[in-house]
Amino acid sequence: MNRCSWWLWGMLWLSAPVAAVERLTVQVLEVLPHDINAFTQGLTWHDGQLFESTGLYGQSSLRRLSTRNGEADRQTRLSDSLFGEGVARVGEQLVQLTWREGLALVWRLPELELETAFSYEGEGWGLCFDGDSLWMSDGSATLQRRHPADFALQQRLTVRLQGRPQSRINDLACAGEYIYANVWKKAHILRIHKASGEVDGVIDAAPLLPLSGRVAHREAVLNGIAHNPDTGEFYLTGKWWPRLFRVRFVQASAAFANAEAGAVSAR
């Protein structure tokens, strides 16, 4: 290929249409109390209840939260040598990642009793289950698809926004053909098409920050996302946040219209 051909190819590539990215925001439906001491690393919804994984060495736990008042009505502590991360429900079990320990802990529901553990390489960050496969993040721009029976790695998928890899992918929520992802230390959520890894929607969750009551600490960031498939709603919170939010992802104009109508309820 001569120089002219290379130049023409480059110009065609640069002028190729970029896939549109939908811009959304959060419509707050309800505000629930949340344990301000919870360093939230993972959140998942099951059968009308939320399950939360918290981190930090010596403080990590797995909790069942009421969606009526946000309180933990069942809780188990992890070993002091483990740092809890993302959590996902698979059948009548919960799978909970650990940060640097390379262990995926399998807990039996409803007792929250440890049944077994799987091993994996690298760090564990976020986790969700789409009904067939577990999807795992490790803080990079790569998602890992894993088998729910033995946690075997089946696929690696790069998350891209308009062609650019998106790193620091954190907690995950599976919803239909999409994976919704927190991004570490960012106030937005990515909507990732799991067939391609392309981000086709970005949700601005910054309106939650002044409502969160979070402590003045650089680690008190947005993290923890769970999807209720019955309603299409999401639950969002953050590390050391005293509040948990039930929300919908909507166009900005719809969110403002509902706020003016007084649609938000708080407890």
Q: What is the pLDDT of residues 114-173, one digit of tens each?
A: 999 999 999 999 999 999 999 999 999 999 999 999 999 999 999 999 999 999 999 999
- Is the model's pLDDT at 227 over the cut of 70? yes
Q: What pLDDT, on the 0 to 100 scale, is given for residue 18?
A: 56
Query: 21-266 — its CATH code?
Result: 2.120.10.30
Three-class SS state of 57: coil
| Angstrom distance (rounded) from CA 250 to CA 257 | 11
- Is the model's pLDDT at 258 over the cut of 70? no
Strand order in the sheet with 127-129: 127-129, 134-137, 142-146, 153-158
List the structure tokens of 93: 């079990």
Q: Determine the average pLDDT of the residues in 80-109.
A: 98
Q: Minimal CA–CA distance to 113: which of 96, 125, 99?
A: 96
**Residue extents of the structural domains in the chain:** 21-266
Q: What pLDDT, on the 0 to 100 scale, is given for residue 70?
A: 82
Residue 183 in contact with residue 169, Cβ under 8 Å?
Answer: yes
User: 80, exposed or middle or buried, with CB in 10 Å at 0-12, 13-18, 19+?
Assistant: exposed
Residue 95 in contact with residue 120, Cβ under 8 Å?
Answer: no
Q: Determine the average pLDDT of the residues in 55-71.
A: 92
State the chain's maximal CA–CA distance in angstroms.
Answer: 70
Residue 190 in contact with residue 9, Cβ under 8 Å?
Answer: no
Strand (E) or helix (H) holding 89:
strand 84-90
Q: What is the pTM of this model?
A: 0.88
- Is the model's pLDDT at 45 over the cut of 80? yes
Tell me 232's DSSP state.
Answer: T
| Angstrom distance (rounded) from CA 134 to CA 139 | 16
| Angstrom distance (rounded) from CA 218 to CA 41 | 15
Integer Rg of the chain from CA: 19
List the structure tokens of 96: 């909970």
Tell me: the pLDDT tens digits for 129-139?
999 999 999 99
Q: What pLDDT, on the 0 to 100 scale, is given for residue 253?
A: 62
**What percentage of the chain reaches a pLDDT higher than 70?**
87
Strands 49-54 and 40-46: antiparallel
